[in-house]
């Protein structure tokens, strides 16, 4: 009974903080205001969350669940680059419609667990592009490019709601062009030049496949050496 009561109290505090953030219009929200709205004392709040950062990390996770619900509702298209494109659009739309939660996840130097979970989802989308033989650059590089660009665009649109939303689409396509091959150049396609885009994409694809399913016939040292060679092929220009 006590555990259920604690869970209810924790949920009530998170809900109160979320409402206050939504109504604050970007202004700071104090723990005192949260306690008043939730009908609890400060010791109760700190018992559940430790400190103000812990509270707002929990609120960010609460908002992230909304983001995840949209992600889960989207069916794969069969084209991993199109799935990545749709993931970008969902990310930006979530930020524009939930600026208070988005700011908690990405608007400060602190990276809450919810943002790390979002990055893991992004990695999954990009690894699918790599396995299809269509990623021009290593997975980690592509993830940093997409992450930095999508977060930057979203924060800019939150800061200026009247800004041209077409900026997001243009930035998205520029980044996708930089990291992914067109469908007719990926997979088993050839690019006519050793070390060209398709060669790099195959190297990225093989590295991604081995990372997901390491070969039992290679020793650790051999796997490391092969990984180094594939990295050089993937990044050669």
Q: How many CB atoms lie within 10 A of CB 222?
A: 11
Give the residue with greater pLDDT, 64 vs 148.
Answer: 148
**Is residue 162 within 8 Å of 104, Cβ to Cβ?**
no
Q: For residue 35, what pLDDT band results from cuts at 50, 70 and 90?
A: very high
| pLDDT at res. 150 | 95
The model's confidence at residue 21, banded by pLDDT at 50, 70 and 90, is confident
Q: Is the pLDDT of residue 188 over 70?
A: no
Distance CA 65, CA 119 (A): 14
**DSSP letters for 34-90:** HHHHHT--HHHHHHHHSSHHHHHHHHHHHHHHHHHHHHHHPPP-S-HHHHHHHHHHH
Give CA angle at 34 (109, 104), nearest 5°.
20
Q: Which segment of 28-37, 52-61, 107-116 scores lowest on mean pLDDT? A: 107-116
Q: What is the pLDDT of residue 192?
A: 42
Give the DSSP H or E segment for 183.
Answer: none
Other CB atoms within a 10 A radius of the CB of residue 136 amount to: 22
Q: Which two tokens stand for residue 93?
A: 């739309």
Going by pLDDT thresholds of 50, 70 and 90, the confidence category of residue 152 is: very high
Average pLDDT over the chain, rounded to an integer: 84
pLDDT of 25: 73
Q: Which residues, 6 or more positions from 151, have their beta carbon under 8 angstroms from its beta carbon? A: 106
């Amino acid at each position: 009974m006590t555990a259920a009561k604690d869970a209810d109290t924790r949920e009530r505090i998170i809900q109160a903080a979320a409402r206050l953030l939504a109504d604050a219009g970007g202004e700071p929200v104090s723990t005192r205001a949260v306690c008043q709205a939730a009908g609890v004392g400060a010791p109760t709040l700190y018992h559940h969350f430790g400190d103000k950062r812990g509270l707002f990390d929990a609120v960010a996770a609460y908002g992230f669940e909304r983001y995840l619900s949209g992600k889960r509702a989207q069916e794969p298209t069969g084209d991993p680059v199109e799935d990545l494109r749709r993931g970008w659009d969902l990310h930006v739309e979530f930020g524009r419609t939930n600026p208070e939660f988005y700011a908690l996840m990405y608007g400060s130097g602190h990276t809450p667990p919810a943002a790390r979970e979002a990055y893991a989802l992004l990695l999954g989308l990009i690894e699918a592009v790599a396995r299809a033989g269509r990623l021009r650059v290593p997975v980690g590089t592509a993830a940093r490019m997409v992450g930095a660009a999508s977060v930057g665009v979203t924060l800019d649109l939150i800061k200026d709601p009247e800004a041209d939303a077409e900026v997001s689409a243009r930035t998205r396509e520029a980044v996708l062009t930089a990291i992914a091959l067109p469908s007719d150049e990926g997979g088993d396609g050839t690019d006519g030049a050793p070390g060209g885009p398709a060669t790099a994409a195959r190297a990225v694809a093989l590295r991604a496949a081995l990372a997901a399913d390491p070969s039992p016939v290679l020793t650790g040292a051999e796997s490391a050496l092969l990984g180094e060679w594939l990295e050089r092929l993937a990044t050669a220009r």
